[in-house]
Amino acid sequence: MSTPRSKITADLVSTLGSRLQNTKVVTETSPDYGECIARWSDTAVKRAGVVLFPSTAQDISIVVKFVQEHNIDLAVKCGGHSVSGTSSSDGGIVIDLGRMRGVTVDAATKVITAQGGALWADVDNAAAEYGLATVGGTVNHTGIGGLTLGGGYGWLSGRYGMVVDNLLSATLVLADGSVVTASSTENPDLFWAVRGAGHGFGIAVEFQYRCYEQKGEVFSGLLTFTPDKLELVLDFLNSLSEELDANTAAVFMLGQPPGALVPIVAVAPIYIGPEEEARNKFKPLFALGPELDKTYMMPYVKLNALFADMTAYGGRKTFKGTFFLKPVRPAFVRSILDNFTTKLQSDSDLLGSAIVLEFMDMRKVCEVPLSSTAVANRSMNTLNGIVGLRWKESSNDAQHREYARQLQALFKEELDSQLKERNITPDGVPQYLNYAEPGDIAVPEIFGDNTTRLQKLKAQYDPGCLFSKMLSITPVT
């Protein structure tokens, strides 16, 4: 396992800086230091010894070798969405990929090439210029690196599978400083690991994705309902999830928006196709009489920006993955709503928090065998959810994180109970890396039968566990 790593001294900052030709160096005395250590969640902010903004893989290689030589703590930032601070360092080095956001599109071959620091908005917008799209993050200010390396679901997953199922190659800087490309034909073992456990194997500086024609607009938006409609809404979503339509998805949310006296029920319906088909597909939902209807046809790039404002940078946040067996029991979700309502009524600091359930067609995702990539979260039985809490007061950090864990535990108890009651053995691991925080879930529970192969590859590519902030994979020879 990794040994404790140290902070960087001023002298070492100077030494390292002199070796870098294409890197911006930011220290505590720099005027933009505060901006450079800011993260999506204020709980993830740490005071780095130095923040480096490289523009080449060669400079990143120099940094990695320097880190290994001096045993310095290292973090890598792309979008900075980790709420646990895996993209931050306390006194060490942060490699910020923000100067490596280039995206090019080969429309003839339908291949997108994106640098490791790109955000999904960069990819979406570049592809849209050619009437193309790829499977990408559902919040467009998320970095492509973290999401891709952890597997990646998106609104096109019903059609085309996970992000990693559409990944053609990845170029990484490894723990020894070497720069290598991994694909199905080049370093295939590394490519296998990168697709689902990539955080633990290197710094991704470039990705190539397969993309698809996406010229028409799509249907989405937001519907809100009074809490008494919860069971009826879930009955419809359960029936929707059984119909298995690759063009259809929906996001169910419990939250209390500004001005609301109690938490409400909200649904974002998603249909990749014409409006008439969409409204027919969701007709029973509209018939329930939503309080608010903000659904409309929009470009695909707008769909991926739909939740951008609701998930804006800043504020204190925690993020817990949950999982549910379909069909989800409305009575269970009602108990969660009651619990959530009681909590929000007693603690206004949590207003703006949400509990989310994601409904999508998993057939294309599950076409890929569990052993074909490191991703073990492929199941026709279970779907993903999120407990997303946000607050303002740092003095409430511990109690709000504990409440998130309590909610997560309730979902786990329900999942285990329903699996037993229905005599179902999941066909995949009901854990999704991108919805997990380090320390929450042990590696075997995330990767299942893929764990042993990952441990052997870890021993080959990163035996000293330099890349272990997100994933603590034990090297095994």
SS3 of 351-377: CCCEEEEEEECCHHHHHCCCCCCCCCC
- pLDDT computed for residue 63 by the predictor: 99
Three-state secondary-structure class, residue 225: strand
Question: pTM above 0.85?
Answer: yes
Query: Which residues are CB-neighbours of 183 under 8 A, at least 6 positions away?
Result: 168, 169, 170, 191
Question: For domain 10-98, is the CATH number 3.40.50.880?
Answer: no
User: Pick from 368, 387, 388, 386: which is nearest to 378 by CA?
Assistant: 368
Q: Rounded distance, CA 125 to CA 302, Å?
A: 10
Neighbours of 371 (CB within 10 A): 12
Read off the tokens for 368.
Answer: 């890929």
One-character DSSP codes across 277-300 = HHHHHTHHHHTT--SEEEEEEE-H
* Cβ 123 vs Cβ 132: under 8 Å: no
**Radius of gyration of the chain measured on its C-alpha atoms:** 22
Query: What's the pLDDT tens digit per position in 372-412?
Result: 999 999 999 999 999 999 999 999 999 999 999 999 999 99
Neighbours of 402 (CB within 10 A): 10
The full set of domain ranges for the chain reads 10-98, 103-214, 218-435
The angle that helices 10-19 and 57-70 make with each other, rounded to 10 degrees, is 150
- H-helix or E-strand spanning residue 37: helix 33-37
- pLDDT computed for residue 258 by the predictor: 77
- pLDDT computed for residue 22 by the predictor: 96
Query: What's the pLDDT tens digit per position in 415-459?
Result: 999 999 999 988 888 888 899 877 666 677 889 999 999 999 999
Question: For domain 103-214, is the CATH number 1.10.10.10?
Answer: no
- pLDDT computed for residue 461 by the predictor: 99
User: Pick from 117, 136, 116: which is nearest to 125 by CA?
Assistant: 136
CA dihedral of 403, 404, 408, 411, whole degrees rounded to 10: 70
% of the chain residues with pLDDT over 70: 99
Q: Which is it for the CA torsion 172, 176, 179, 182, positive or negative?
A: negative
- pLDDT computed for residue 257 by the predictor: 84
**Whole-number Cα distances in Å, 212 to 128, 146, 343:** 10, 22, 44
Q: Confidence class of residue 472 from pLDDT cuts 50, 70 and 90?
A: confident
State the fold for domain 218-435: Vanillyl-alcohol Oxidase; Chain A, domain 3 (3.40.462)
Which residues are 248's β-sheet partners?
A: 271
